[in-house]
C-alpha cells in the first residue's frame, strides 16, 4: 500500500493506536521542558509579561499545545507569582489520555479552546504536523510498513504555490502549508495575547536541499518509517508560518532563536561564584547544576538554535 507522506504520517502519529495516541514523548526524546525547570520558569516570566501587556485580565489563559505529560503546564501553574495565580487558567492540549498524576486544576483538551486571552505556547508541536514531500515535479509516496519510497503524481496547485514561494529549487522539499494552517488556527484562537512556536526550523534562505524528515524512538534517531512505532518529525518553515499568522490577524511578529529568547527571559547559564563552594557547598552544587542545564537550553549548536516565532494579536 502506497500513501502520500502526509496521510502516512497522520495515520502513524495520530490514527487509532498511533504513536502520539499511546506514547509520552519524553520516553523517546528530550525536549527543553525536560532538560531543566529553567525553561518552564522562563515561560512563566513570559506569561507575566503578557499579563502586564493585557492590563491584568480577570482570567489569564496559558495554553500548552502538544502537552505530552503536561510538565510545562504544571511548571507554569506551580511557578505563577501570587498576582497571577488566582486569575490563571491552564489548559493542556494533547490527543493522548490525561496523565493520572496531573494537577487537577489543569484542564486537559484535545484542541485549543477559542477565545484565549493570554499565552498559547507550542513547544515542538508544529514539527509533528503531517505534511507531504515533493521530489522534483512529483509527490513522494511511501510504504508505511517499510519506509520505501517511490514517485507519485504531481503536487496540487496549492502545493506548487507554496513550494514556489517558500522552498524553490530543492531536490527534495517538505510542503509546509499544513503547518501554516495549524499555526494560523492558533493565532485565530487568540482573543488577545501572544502565541509562541518553538521548534527545529529553517527559513527560505536556509532550506536544506534534501529535506529533514526523520524518526525518533527510544532516545535514538532512526529511519522515518511511518508504521506507528516511532516519532516522525520534519523541521518547520517558521517564516511561512509567520506569514500565515499575520494573515490570521497577528499584529506583531518576532522570529528569533531560543538562545536569544531565553537569555532575554533571564536564562543565562551563569556559573555560581567559586567562593560559594567554600561557604555553601550544597548550594554551590545546586546552582552549578542549574547553570549547566541552562547552558544546554541556550547552546547555540543545540537547543539554543531552535527557532522561536512570537506573534501578538
pLDDT of 284 > 60? The answer is no
pLDDT above 70 covers what percent of the chain? 93
Burial class (CB in 10 A: 0-12, 13-18, 19+), 227: middle
| Cβ atoms of residues 1 and 129 within 8 Å | no
Residues 193-207 pLDDT 10s: 999 999 999 999 999
CATH class of 3-266+293-312: alpha beta
Q: Say what the pTM is.
A: 0.93
Decide the pairing of beta strands 116-123 and 60-65.
parallel
Reported confidence tier of residue 151, pLDDT bands at 50, 70, 90: very high
Q: What is the domain partition of the chain in residue ranges?
A: 3-266+293-312
* Longest CA–CA separation in the chain, Å: 70
- Read off the pLDDT of each residue in 228-241 and give the average, rounded to a whole number: 97
Residues in the chain: 313
d(C-alpha 102, C-alpha 256), whole Å: 32
d(C-alpha 130, C-alpha 143), whole Å: 16
Q: On the CB side of 43, how many CA atoms lie within 13 Å of its CA?
A: 33
d(C-alpha 241, C-alpha 255), whole Å: 10
Q: On the CB side of 73, how many CA atoms lie within 13 Å of its CA?
A: 29
d(C-alpha 166, C-alpha 309), whole Å: 17
Helical (H) or strand (E) element with 216 = strand 214-217
d(C-alpha 73, C-alpha 121), whole Å: 10
Q: What is the pLDDT of residue 26?
A: 62
Amino acid at each position: 500500500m502506497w500513501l502520500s507522506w502526509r496521510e502516512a504520517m497522520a495515520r502513524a502519529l495520530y490514527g487509532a493506536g498511533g504513536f502520539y495516541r499511546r506514547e509520552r514523548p519524553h520516553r523517546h526524546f528530550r525536549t527543553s521542558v525536560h532538560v531543566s525547570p529553567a525553561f518552564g520558569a522562563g515561560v512563566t516570566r513570559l506569561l507575566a509579561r503578557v499579563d502586564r501587556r493585557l492590563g491584568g485580565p480577570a482570567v489569564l489563559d496559558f495554553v500548552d499545545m502538544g502537552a505530552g505529560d503536561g510538565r510545562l503546564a504544571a511548571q507554569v501553574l506551580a511557578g505563577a507569582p501570587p498576582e497571577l495565580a488566582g486569575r490563571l487558567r491552564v489548559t493542556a492540549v494533547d490527543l493522548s489520555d490525561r496523565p493520572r498524576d496531573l494537577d487537577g486544576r489543569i484542564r486537559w483538551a484535545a484542541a485549543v479552546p477559542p477565545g484565549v486571552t493570554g499565552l498559547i505556547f507550542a513547544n515542538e508541536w508544529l514539527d509533528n504536523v503531517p505534511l507531504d514531500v515533493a521530489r522534483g515535479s512529483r509527490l513522494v509516496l511511501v510504504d508505511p510498513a517499510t519506509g520505501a519510497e517511490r514517485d507519485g503524481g504531481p503536487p496540487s496547485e496549492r502545493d506548487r504555490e507554496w513550494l514556489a514561494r517558500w522552498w524553490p529549487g530543492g531536490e527534495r522539499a517538505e510542503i509546509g502549508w499544513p503547518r501554516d494552517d495549524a499555526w494560523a488556527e492558533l493565532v485565530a484562537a487568540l482573543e488577545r495575547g501572544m502565541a509562541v512556536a518553538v521548534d527545529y526550523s529553517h527559513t527560505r534562505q536556509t532550506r536544506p536541499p534534501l529535506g529533514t524528515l526523520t524518526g525518533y524512538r527510544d532516545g535514538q534517531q532512526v529511519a522515518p518509517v511511518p508504521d506507528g512505532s516511532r516519532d516522525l518529525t520534519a523541521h518547520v518553515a517558521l517564516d511561512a508560518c509567520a506569514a500565515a499568522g499575520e494573515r490570521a490577524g497577528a499584529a506583531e511578529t518576532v522570529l528569533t532563536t531560543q538562545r536569544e529568547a531565553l537569555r532575554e527571559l533571564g536564562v543565562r547559564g551563569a556559573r555560581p561564584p567559586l567562593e560559594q563552594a567554600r561557604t555553601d557547598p550544597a548550594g554551590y552544587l545546586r546552582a552549578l547544576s542549574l547553570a549547566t542545564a541552562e547552558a544546554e537550553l541556550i547552546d547555540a549548536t543545540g537547543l539554543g538554535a531552535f527557532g522561536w516565532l512570537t506573534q501578538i494579536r
